[in-house]
Structure 1
């Protein structure tokens, strides 16, 4: 059994004044402002995890030969804490993020942080900076745990030192003017991941590799890129950094379908949660393969009535139009579908404590 890691507490002597913090919370945006503190834990070969502490948010001093800058051993997570209906604060499924963080670390030959330590680090930061948690609607405190190689030196091998960090940022509603459908570009030239690669890992390199395709989507007048499989370029995988869902049929007989996890897709926490929520609402669910031809034909003949993407930041994003080198088409009437909106409302109600939590996904903090 791994011994519990003790955290030192070094709170800031100069937190942001209340008035300035409230001004930030009035319009936080996403990822633009950060709380007063962060949590750090070091790992050294032969010593393991050590020097865990909560400390003031500050910049790092980095040597030019830091191994992360050269060999990209870096992973991250994203999760949210919500102000509940009773005024308390709860994280959404932090244990699931912690387990995925371990899997990412394993794939990149990095040390695995114990799940309980990951969760405790997030708890400490939330308790210290609880005043930064917004108090209404789908606003939240977004937590970004990450880890990178801290060894200085050149040589292609796993590093012998790492730094784990948690920072937090208040986040406003993703769609402040109402839920808007996005347009997507099917990328047939670029791929996000290949079998045996790092598709399942939440690592920075996956996102760096996506930027050129995202730029191509923008040139085509689209909001997002949709990734296809690396082998045949016909099986739908993800949208940008989000998982995709398809609604077959309508009403009570509708079936909610998402691409199966093949090793090249990121196993999203929101994706997994929606499988449970859809079943709770009485819908059939399925994990399978969906080709671009299936998608287009389904929209044309009405068998696929809605399409949406899901992820931590936006929760659920409807897809309205699709563009590709072979033609364009519309999903339904191009507007958010009723089941898409129902699932989004149900998930947010659970996350914010306005609906029961039958799965035990909320982790109360303060």
Structure 2
């Protein structure tokens, strides 16, 4: 992992940009101070937030009927930007359609990036967020790559907190339920020319949800795609851009038709592991040297710097019970480890699902079964995967004390 976020200052497309590159760890202390707008342009100011409340509140669905990303709360947050004035006053207003010209460059050239985080309800009724400052760092990194305007992360978080207070009734109670937040940044300039945007909009919508997978916390099967790649060196795999996701739908549908739930993305002749669907990937095994090791692919520019990924690395390193590595590993090594009985557990990790255990991988005509818990034939996860899941789950809902859990006052 690169040591610290390196930032360069300059004027691009008539405004200030900072380069947010590298890893996620150790960045939370620098978020608010390094993304300020230049003196000539207005930055986002939470103190200027204006609210217009809906006159027609929507009915709340029973939480058991929630489908991920299908139901939305009463209100949304929007902030407009222009290259001449900077950011306008933030607005909380009734959820509804955006009015955009058909020529907007977001429609034609994919000037769009987004984030995903959740608000949780703890046992005392408090609203909690999990490491939201890291989402702001990553979104600014994505914005920088698209030459979209950056923002003061601390100010946007304060606006998001007010949105949560406004739509508090939409945060479901109970473990496994949350309010998913989708910050999005798009170009709204009316032009067919390919150049950096002079108009943009940041908006946040909220969706109550239950478990991401309908099956709940259960092991999934993977199909190793030998023909398509999710990202490549020098590309934008380390940014959360909408353009990274649409091309993955075809391979995902093909994998499902073959009886597998997710695609295992690889790259190169040795099929180096990249990601699992839209999740970071972890392998827990006994390596060739006989060491028990947890591995995840390194942040080499092709891997999304997941916040859950970073949390797992930091958490397991504090345990000090096995080797924890960020290094390359390929499917040929996985196949050999499976044949040798050295493969212990594999799982994916991300905001939507937290942790998802893997039970089977199809690679070059062979299904490789991944051990779960040999002491429990009904187990859906191995002991390390389950421990990671339960710990992060406990932090998110406030049961496990941690600096990562932020209470919305």
- Do these two structures clear the TM 0.5 threshold for a shared fold by scoring above it? yes
- Post-superposition Cα deviations, 1:50-106, rounded to whole Å, max 9, x if no partner, equal 131111101112221111111100000000111122211111111000000000001
- Post-superposition Cα deviations, 1:141-173, rounded to whole Å, max 9, x if no partner, equal 110000111011111111110010000011112
Give aligned pairs, total: 357
| 2:184 aligned counterpart, secondary structure | strand
Q: Which of 287, 298, 302 does residue 341 from structure 2 map onto?
A: 302
What is the CA–CA distance in structure 1 between the aligned matches of 2:49 and 2:269, rounded to whole Å? 49
> Is the Cα contact below 8 Å between 1:37 and 1:54 reproduced in 2?
yes
Q: How does 1:9-24 map onto structure 2 within 5 Å? A: 9-16=51-58, 20-21=59-60, 23-24=61-62
- State the TM-score, normalized to the length of structure 1: 0.93
Structure 2 partner of 1:329: 368
What is the CA–CA distance in structure 2 between the aligned matches of 1:248 and 1:220, rounded to whole Å? 27
Q: How does 1:60-209 map onto structure 2 within 5 Å? A: 60-174=98-212, 178-209=216-247
> Is the Cα contact below 8 Å between 2:345 and 2:372 reproduced in 1?
no
Instruction: Give how far 1:342 is off.
Output: 1.0
Structure 1 partner of 2:73: 35
Structure 2 partner of 1:348: 393
Instruction: Give how far 1:184 is off.
Output: 0.6
- State the TM-score, normalized to the length of structure 2: 0.84
What is the CA–CA distance in structure 2 between the aligned matches of 1:53 and 1:234, rounded to whole Å? 47
Structure 2 partner of 1:221: 259
What is the CA–CA distance in structure 2 between the aligned matches of 1:171 and 1:254, rounded to whole Å? 36
What is the CA–CA distance in structure 1 between the aligned matches of 2:389 and 2:395, rounded to whole Å? 10
Seen in structure 2, the aligned counterparts of structure 1 residues 186 and 130 have a Cα distance that, compared at 3 Å, is same
Question: Which segment is superposed worse, 324-333 or 101-110?
Answer: 324-333
- Post-superposition Cα deviations, 1:194-217, rounded to whole Å, max 9, x if no partner, equal 111110110111001111211221
What is the CA–CA distance in structure 1 between the aligned matches of 2:174 and 2:214, rounded to whole Å? 13
- Post-superposition Cα deviations, 1:20-78, rounded to whole Å, max 9, x if no partner, equal 31x34343221111000000001101111113111110111222111111110000000
> Is the Cα contact below 8 Å between 2:44 and 2:89 reproduced in 1?
no
What's the RMSD between the two structures over aligned residues?
1.8
Structure 1 segments of 4 or more deviating over 6 A?
none
Gaps of 5+ in 1: none
